[in-house]
Amino acid sequence: MVAALIHPEAAGNVRSVADCHQHVVLIDGRRVIVCPVNPQDALAEQNFVGALSPSSRYRRFHFGMRQLPDQLVREMTEIDQWQHVALVARPADAVRGEIVADARYVRSADTDEAEFAVMVADAWQGAGLGRELLQRLGRHARASGVRLLYGDVLWGNEPMIALVRALGGGLARHPTDATLVRAELQV
């Protein structure tokens, strides 16, 4: 199973995301387990996004929606963990596989860059979970040959902008949309 989670060219050079099954204690004392997303997480991913507040969903997807279309659920859970890497966080005491955060990056074709995205359940925001997941993604990306993580962030998404700045990242004008800023993290 571990071999399936990492591209064959990187085997031996990159710590597999399968190694990420770790307990993490957040700054407020709550505990989560961080692990790779898998196809069996489709319903949990749908429930997670559906439970987000409208503003949290808008900050993540940049448009209003109540639930993920089936195709997007598949694209978010049926991934190769090489071109598209995704981690989820679950409460340590979760009974039914509940997801409280999702962080991912998708490699840009023929570059050493990848686009990242992070979303955290409203009740779990402000506890350091987004930071933890983005740092883990950065370490994995660096070990996989990615040098720059970038994400398109709404100008009004102050928590994400603050997180990127706190991690030493920068902001640049978005090339095509004045409502967005391009967040960039060297990894």
Which H or E element spans position 164? Answer: helix 158-166
If 0-12 CB within 10 Å is exposed, 13-18 middle and 19+ buried, where does residue 13 land?
Answer: exposed
Q: Class of the 3-186 domain?
A: alpha beta
Question: 20: pLDDT confidence band, cut at 50, 70 and 90?
Answer: low
pLDDT tens digit sequence for 103-147: 999 999 989 999 999 999 999 999 999 999 999 999 999 999 999
For the segment 28-83, what is each residue's pLDDT rounded down to a tens digit? 999 999 999 999 999 999 999 999 999 999 899 888 788 888 999 999 999 999 99
The pLDDT value given to residue 18: 45
Answering whether pTM is above 0.75, one says yes
